[in-house]
Amino acid sequence: MGLGATRGVALVGMAGAPVDVEAFVTPGLPAFVVTGLPDASLGQSRDRVRAALAGIGCSLPSKRVTVNLSPASLPKQGAGFDLAVAVAVLAAEGVLAREVVRGWTHLGELGLDGRLRPVRGVLPAVVAAVGAGCPRVVVPRENAAEAELVPGAEVRSASSLAAVVRGHGGEVDGACDPDEDVAPRAPAPVAPPRLDLADVAGQAEARRAVEVAAAGGHHLLLVGPPGAGKTMLAARLPGLLPDLGDEEAVEVTAVHSVAGTFDAAGGLLRRPPFEDPHHTATTPSVVGGGSGVVRPGAASRAHRGVLFLDEAPEFRKDVLEALRQPLEHGSLVIARAGGAARYPARFQLVMAANPCPCGRASGRGDACSCAPLERRRYLSRLSGPLLDRVDLQVEVTAPSRAALAVGAEGESSAVVAARVRSAREAQLARLGGSGARCNGEAPGALLRGRLRLPAAVVGDLDAALDRGRLTVRGYDRVLRTAWTLADLEGTSAPDRDHVGAALLLRLRGRAA
């Protein structure tokens, strides 16, 4: 009669919960029972564990093996418990010392030949293990770099169950190591091409808007005819953003680790992510979802980065409306059978849209062939509540032949990024302590309190509010943009011109 125990980690969304994996071997008809709310893939771990144990010459005893995953009421998913189950069984059988394995957390999926396969979500799992006071973890070799990103973790990596057993001081058939070369290697990720702002011809106004958006973390809407360069401009926004700080980088990396879109070889994700879902995207693909297990969607993968919706009015209405919650709270809570998961989703929203279905209704709109009703309806698909949250709304006109012919290159991304960086530093110094990192996140109470502007400066704004051209939320948002404009110029506070320019940027040039 033997009892063995070790630890694993269950992930619910981004939160990891330490799980005690206990194995109990008793005389009885041979059976392998897994209790503690396993899902299908975890329930099948018994067959993988059975084969892997046989592979290292420690066949399962012809006895009753009960594996319990405690807390038993927490639903658990995935194959990441395979290694913990195998180690617990070996400890119950006395192959491994019980006191040794009890202090380790094991993560990893087993192959039938005893090979250890990488799993998703290692970063948040290791964070949870360290947080629970169990910093010693065993992970598959492919996940080692990811696990080592967690401060305080004592990481041991292995490529097979045999190596894990030897690492814990057990003895196994050495000949049963899986052939290292057979392990499939992920293809090296292709580095995305560097997009430079210098590639954009003309478009001084729109470039300015992109710069302001980058500097203050403001949401941006670009409206213009096809071919004007909206997508080009939007795709160059992430290149202007400063690198992520340590804390942000861990957050972002954890989301991508859970989403399975993270390659640990490059270390923590330091660059703001860029997500551009196609306009046919469904709500679960954008906000996250899935049956049983909740996976992060594009909005969460764009956390601390840019979520770009090209042809925004073509997106389904429910998709656009679902973005209102993350825009306001910076996170998404999604409930499914497997539990409610909270994913961070503090992204910068960038939308591009044609002015009408035919796309030619900009400027005087002479070339537009749409019926007036169609034209009116098109942009109104972006609902008022959504647009109210977008600080910068800019018309992009097709560059004239003259602008192309002059060939004067615009400023490069590096030059603009330097300005953005110094503007961000000024914001951080001013907003420090309020929890906000940039003007786009500055709390309204702060703007109307400590950072209140004199009445002479905000006169135009007050008038717009009185005339109903602005909502109260819009009022705050214009103030935020004005601060960003001042920061970009290096002045200590916005003046009347900054506020006016901010108002124009918000109202697509149709101010008051």
Q: How far is the CB of 61 from another protein (least distance, A)?
A: 9
27 is an interface residue for another protein by CB under 8 A: yes
Q: Which is nearer to another protein, 27 or 449 (CB)?
A: 27
Is the CB of residue 212 less than 8 Å from the CB of residue 506?
no
Cα distance from N-terminal residue to C-terminal residue, the chain:
83
Q: 352 forms bridges with which residues in the sheet?
A: 222
Q: Which is nearer to another protein, 32 or 347 (CB)?
A: 32
* 400 interacts with another protein by CB under 8 A: no
Span near another protein by CB under 8 A; candidates 24-32, 219-227, 251-259, 308-316? 24-32
Identify the residue whose tokens are 């029972």. Answer: 33
Q: Which is nearer to another protein, 59 or 400 (by Cβ)?
A: 59
- Interface residue with another protein, options 62, 282, 400, 491 (CB under 8 A): 62
For residues 159 and 111, the answer to whether their CB atoms sit within 8 Å is no
Picking from 261, 282, 216, the residue whose alpha carbon sits closest to that of residue 481 is 216
Chosen residue from 9, 10, 17, 29 binding another protein by CB under 8 A = 29
Q: In whole angstroms, how far apart are CA 211 and each of 219, 241, 485, 507?
A: 12, 9, 10, 18
CB 496 within 8 A of CB 454: no
31 vs 97 by CB, closer to another protein: 31
Say which DSSP state 124 is in: H
Task: Report if residue 369 touches another protein, rule: CB under 8 A.
Answer: no
C-beta of 27 vs 433, nearer to another protein: 27
Q: Are 493 and 453 in contact (CB under 8 A)?
A: yes
Q: How far is CA 208 from CA 51, 205, 215, 217, 263, in A?
A: 62, 5, 10, 14, 34
3-state DSSP of 95-115: CCCHHHHHCCEECCEECCCCE
Helix and strand counts by DSSP (H, E) for the chain:
22, 16
Give bridge partners of residue 7 from the DSSP assignment.
20, 105
* 30 scored as a contact of another protein (CB under 8 A): yes
Which CB, 41 or 66, lies closer to another protein? 66
Tell the smallest beta-carbon distance from residue 82 to another protein (Å).
22
Binding of residue 28 to another protein (CB under 8 A): yes
Which residue's CB is nearer to another protein, number 28 or number 192? Answer: 28
Single out the segment in contact with another protein by CB under 8 A; choices: 22-30, 377-385, 386-394, 462-470: 22-30
Stretch that binds another protein, among 21-29, 221-229, 234-242, 296-304 (CB under 8 A): 21-29
- Give me the least distance between CB of 27 and another protein, in Å please: 6
173 binds another protein (CB under 8 A): no
Total chain residues near another protein (CB under 8 A):
6
Q: Which stretch binds another protein (CB under 8 A): 25-33, 271-279, 418-426, 496-504?
A: 25-33
Binding site for another protein (CB under 8 A): 27-31, 62
